[in-house]
């Protein structure tokens, strides 16, 4: 068994596509009209082959409240990994990504949280423990 698709809720699919491609460097994979929304996925050029991130429209009222509560509590809804946190943070800052503080280390993992401008906080991590 393997993971091929996961999703992140977004308030505006067009804005999310712009952020995830232009700011984070992901690549659009699928863009299929589905009524007022789209089946809209992106992939990471460095990620595992076949894994897509669905930019899912946040339309279900209870879900809106849930994700709003996560955001207000500063709880990330997703985690992305990098091999060089400092370089990635610098690149992302230059493209306008807003971070919630500076990277910190805990138990062999360095991490920092950023705002995806679509209603979510995302954690960017780097494993720095010896293998």
Residues 117, 17: Cα–Cα separation, whole Å = 11
The residue ranges of the chain whose pLDDT is under 70 are: 130-131
Q: Which domain holds residue 100?
A: 5-127
Residue 35 has which token pair? 């009524």
Alpha helices in the chain (DSSP H): 13-18, 61-72, 85-94
Per-residue pLDDT at 59: 87
Q: What is the CATH number of the domain that holds 56?
A: 3.10.180.10
Structural domains of the chain, count: 1
């Amino acid at each position: 068994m393997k993971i091929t698709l996961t999703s992140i809720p977004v308030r505006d699919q067009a804005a999310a596509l712009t952020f995830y491609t232009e700011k984070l460097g992901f690549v659009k994979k699928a863009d299929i009209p589905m009524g007022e929304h789209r089946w809209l996925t992106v992939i990471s050029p460095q990620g595992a082959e076949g894994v897509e991130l669905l930019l899912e429209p946040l339309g279900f009222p209870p879900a809106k409240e849930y994700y709003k509560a996560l955001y207000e509590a500063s709880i990330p809804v997703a985690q992305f990994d990098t091999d060089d946190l400092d370089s990635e943070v610098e690149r992302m800052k230059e493209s306008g990504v807003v971070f919630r503080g500076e990277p910190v280390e805990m138990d062999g993992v360095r991490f920092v949280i950023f705002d995806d401008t679509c209603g979510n906080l995302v954690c960017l991590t780097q494993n720095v423990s010896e293998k």
